[in-house]
Chains A and B, each alone.
Chain A
């Protein structure tokens, strides 16, 4: 675990060495800020629901961009050989990289807390759903990070890792919006599999153990799959 923490520190710092982190955070803030506030004053309601409802789609392409380099770059430069021949185990590396990506998502979300603060000045904001929304956003970010990490472990090409991760995230996000096309018997199943459905529940302020379990299982399955891929590379 100690070594996973070392990997975490290196990866987290690594995000901020290159300009990518700042570009990604700027794009994220501009997109969410624009889409959220362009309708906020039309509705005239002091709540952040429409902000949270943007997140699944925006995360679907922002987070794979954050995670695409995690393994692909190492495979490509060969630094993975250095990393793995030091006394760390593949699970240490995976957990370190994963937590670094989640921490990066948290850093990316942090400035949007100011939206809540500004809204509470001009209206009566209920902080309950906002707190739930952030908890949900972190869970969503964590599961998308695990998907992105998995996609990154599959290839040494960052662009392929990005597109694979993004497709996977979009499918999960849009699955419950496409229910119209599906046969009736499969509706419940596909609705339950969609990330959008579970995220909506949490962002409404309802903390249901099923939703939490859903996101945690995505993380677990994806990290486990990453571990298998990494072991297979040997």
Chain B
């Protein structure tokens, strides 16, 4: 359905999106996760043909963004961040305009606007100017805007930002319902939201994809593995690395930092067995002065923090 190939975008000298490639079939909800400024919005703007990539390509069905922007825009409904809708227009007039641009027939447009008004809970504000609405209502009008033509792909940039907890639950329900039949791409930096709504999660950091997988799979990875941090006062990191590498249960030994004669190690562990006694045994046998020793259990949050550290 959607294929992204080596997508890159520069703003002047800064690289916002750096050689991103992934594919997505039809149906399901994909969550784009990343810290602020990771390139989520830039990616979405390129997908919706608002920005042109510096290089690379996106294909949606058989169309590509360079040659068939109009056809792609017809397939996609897009809610930009904070729903910047014309403040002077009445909600009804605005939705009518959207229906017009989307080439809905007159009778169909009326029934669709009614349907969306019910679905998004904006019936009572239909005859108010958009500028007078609260952020939550504006966001819902934006959602109605995106869903007007019942598009095959829905792209939502932080759809729940600025909403109160009740509204967040409502909007999530709507998104999940749509995700059963259509393809939804949403961006967020709220991890619980991604966990609750998305079938697949792509984590972006500094314009690059750092993790990509089904939500359950990522969670399982995070849940089964854990990380042990060890700080030692010792001169030879190579010797320590060698000693730890042989231990069954440790999948990766990484030097996290060194300085002032102190060496920090990150030991990625997998399996159910607690291997802390084994590690302590090695340290004791070698008589390395131990400064710190603790375990961190994995959740989506640790994965996210791990991958997007240094921002």
B102 interface contact, C-beta 8 A: yes
B145 touches A81 (CB 8 A): no
Interface residues of A in 53-81 (CB under 8 A from B): 77-79, 81
- How many residues on B have C-beta within 8 angstroms of the other chain's C-beta atoms? 31
Does chain A have a CB within 8 A of B262?
A: no
Within 8 A of A (CB), among B96-110: 97-98, 100-103
* Chain A contacts for B3, CB-based, 8 A: none
A87 is an interface residue with CB less than 8 A from chain B: yes
Q: Tell me if A6 counts as interface (CB < 8 A to partner B).
A: yes
CB proximity to A under 8 Å, residues B60-102: 69-71, 73-74, 76, 78, 80, 82-89, 93, 97-98, 100-102
CB contacts (< 8 Å) of B145 on chain A: these are: 82
Q: Which residue of chain B is the closest to A18 with respect to CB atoms? A: B88
Q: Is B45 an interface residue (CB 8 A)?
A: yes
Q: Which of A1-15 contact B (CB under 8 A)?
A: 2-3, 6-7, 9-10, 13-14
Task: Check if A77 sits within 8 Å of B69, measured CB to CB.
Answer: no
Distance between Cα atoms of A85 and B48 in the complex (Å)? 6
> Are A87's CB and B88's CB within 8 A?
no
Is B50 an interface residue, CB under 8 A from the partner? yes
Interface size class of A (residues with CB under 8 A): 20 to 34
Complex CA–CA separation, A187 to B189 (angstroms): 64
What are 27 sample pairs from A and B whose C-beta atoms fall under 8 A apart? A2-B103, A6-B100, A7-B101, A9-B97, A13-B93, A14-B86, A17-B89, A77-B84, A78-B80, A79-B84, A79-B86, A81-B50, A81-B80, A82-B84, A82-B145, A84-B49, A84-B50, A85-B50, A85-B73, A85-B76, A85-B80, A86-B101, A86-B102, A87-B74, A87-B103, A88-B101, A234-B51
- Which 7 A-B pairs rank lowest in CB-CB distance, beginning with the nearest? A78-B84, A87-B73, A85-B48, A234-B52, A6-B100, A85-B78, A87-B74
